[in-house]
Amino acid sequence: MRLHFLKNSQVTCNDGTAAGFYLKEFRGSRRWLLFLEGGWCCYSKETCDSRYQNIPRLMSSSAWPQTKRGTGIMSSQVESNPHWYNANIVFIPYCSSDVWSGTGPAPTPPPRARQGKEKERERNVNATEYTFMGSLIIREVIKDLIPKGIKQAKVVMLSGTSAGGTGVLLNIERVASQLEQLGAEAQVRGLVDSGWFIESKQQRSPNCPETVSCSPEDAIKIGLRLWNGVVPDRCRQLYKRGEEWQCFFGHKLFSTLTSPLFVVQWLFDEEQLRVENIYVGGQSLSEEQWQYIQNLGRELKNSLRDVTAVFAPSCLSHTVLTKSNWMTFQVKGTSLPRALHCWDRSLEATRNNRTPSKGCPFHLVDTCQWPQCNPTCPALVDQATQQKLTLLQMLVAMGLDPQRLGLDPQGEEDSLVSMVSNGG
């Protein structure tokens, strides 16, 4: 894929450098895959300065390479990407730090008297020289793709991982509207990978954002003002002013979307656990934290109940679509590429007033209860030794007694295999 900078030089990365996209064209194809990169966000002068110092590529294009090789669903090799290798692939690097929601300079708040810490807090949040234009970047990329043929597209899949996945949820209706206004007849679809977050259970920090210990809810709440962030109109109408941050959570936003959506989500997402300061493979784990891990799986499963197209393995991991081994993961005997193909066929059948074929599933949620009970899960790795471990070995290494947790070390392997074979 080759780098193209945006023609509109007013829409930029955080530091004012040109935003852009990588493009691999497939001559004659009327299918387009637009991919939003992930990488969380920053929401104050302190967090943005730290991000710029430690991960500058997520805020600036100054060091972006001229070419990039696509992996996973962006691969051009048929053997590693059987159903999307022959699409036009567009990778949009994340350099706006706003969960793809920003629309330009933050509005200056009206002057009013502030006292002590409150005054200091507002200065911290608003006194930043960065620009946040994630949503505008997506809009400009689509404009720049018009000469490349996106107006003639049959299908446009807006996809992304992590914060990029949440960006899909936030922008899919805008993208569909923009293409419709351009006269395109494409069906716009969304593919969300590891961006379906649920609210944190941790105590809110009274010092947020003076510290970096903000919960995701607080970070987004504060960030929305800084980013001049936008959420889909139909979701915004559900919440009163100041509560729009709730639209960043998939299960609250999903019912307001009209475009077809496919959600890929590990049931024990490592980033969701990290928010609660749980690091599987780290130093230690309490029984309460283990209980939280199990509850997270149940909560995520419940939140996905009404999603028509979903692939949710019972694994501890984060992101799938760009992994080179993305074809190896299965739920109920079906791989993710196969499930996406079944979804594609079903949507095409519906558009052409045909009955979708049976025996091609795309609502796939593991039914087994434990993390890693799916035998195709990515391996757990001990952070200290870099050795691959089973879940039981990992729990023992982290100071827990599997029998106290209701796990039988002798019979567990057999019972897990049994659960998986019986629909896990």
DSSP output for 254-307 = GGG--S-EEEE--TEEHHHHHHTT--TTSS---HHHHHHHHHHHHHHHHHTTT-
Neighbouring CB atoms inside 10 A of 347's CB total 19
Chain centre distance of CA 198: 12
Q: Catalytic residue numbers?
A: 162, 269, 318
Please report which confidence band the pLDDT of residue 61 belongs to, taking 50, 70 and 90 as the band edges: very high
* Confidence (pLDDT) at 205: 60
* pLDDT greater than 50 at residue 417: no
* Cβ–Cβ under 8 Å, residues 407 and 392: yes
* pLDDT greater than 70 at residue 128: no
Q: Which of 31-45, 99-113, 244-258, 265-279 has the lowest mean pLDDT?
A: 99-113
DSSP single-letter state for residue 156: E
Q: How many helices (H) and strands (E) does the chain have?
A: 12, 15
* Confidence (pLDDT) at 202: 63
pLDDT mean across residues, the chain: 86
* pLDDT greater than 80 at residue 233: yes
* Confidence (pLDDT) at 399: 76
Neighbouring CB atoms inside 10 A of 313's CB total 28
* Beta bridge partner(s), residue 33: 89, 157
Query: Tens of pLDDT along 282-291?
Result: 667 888 888 8
Q: Which of 47-51, 210-214, 346-350 has the lowest mean pLDDT?
A: 210-214
φ, ψ dihedrals at 160, nearest 5°: 180, 160
* Confidence (pLDDT) at 331: 96
* pLDDT greater than 70 at residue 372: yes
The H or E element that residue 216 is part of is: helix 216-227
DSSP letters for 309-374: EEEE-S-EE---TT-TTGGG-EETTEEHHHHHHHHHHHHHHHHTT-PPPSS---EEE----STT-S
* Confidence (pLDDT) at 206: 59
Q: Which two tokens stand for residue 175?
A: 């993208």
Q: CA-CA distance, 300 to 196, in Å (whole number)? A: 8
* Confidence (pLDDT) at 78: 94
Side chain identity at residue 382, one-letter code: D
* pLDDT greater than 70 at residue 118: no
Query: For the residues 136-140, what does the mean pLDDT come to?
Result: 98
Q: CA-CA distance, 74 to 21, in Å (whole number)? A: 13
Neighbouring CB atoms inside 10 A of 416's CB total 23
Side chain identity at residue 389, one-letter code: L
Q: Which two tokens stand for residue 58?
A: 């997520």
- This prediction has a pTM of 0.89
* Confidence (pLDDT) at 213: 66
* Confidence (pLDDT) at 424: 47
Question: For 104, left (φ over 0), alpha (ψ -120 to 50), or beta?
Answer: left
The H or E element that residue 219 is part of is: helix 216-227
Neighbouring CB atoms inside 10 A of 102's CB total 27
**Strand 363-365 versus strand 334-335 pairing type:** unpaired
Q: Which two tokens stand for residue 253?
A: 């936003």
Please report which confidence band the pLDDT of residue 41 belongs to, taking 50, 70 and 90 as the band edges: very high
* Confidence (pLDDT) at 200: 75
* Confidence (pLDDT) at 209: 58
* Confidence (pLDDT) at 240: 81
The H or E element that residue 383 is part of is: none
Q: What angle do CA 136, 138, 142 make, to 5 degrees?
A: 115
Please report which confidence band the pLDDT of residue 215 belongs to, taking 50, 70 and 90 as the band edges: confident
* Confidence (pLDDT) at 238: 87
Query: For the residues 364-387, what does the mean pLDDT come to?
Result: 87
Q: CA-CA distance, 238 to 261, in Å (whole number)? A: 20
* Cβ–Cβ under 8 Å, residues 44 and 54: no
Q: Which two tokens stand for residue 340?
A: 């996406």
Please report which confidence band the pLDDT of residue 131 belongs to, taking 50, 70 and 90 as the band edges: very high
Q: CA-CA distance, 23 to 357, in Å (whole number)? A: 34
Please report which confidence band the pLDDT of residue 154 belongs to, taking 50, 70 and 90 as the band edges: very high
Query: Tens of pLDDT along 334-350?
Result: 999 999 999 999 999 98
* pLDDT greater than 90 at residue 144: yes
Residue 41's closest CA among 226, 234, 274, 315? Answer: 226
Query: For the residues 393-413, what does the mean pLDDT come to?
Result: 68
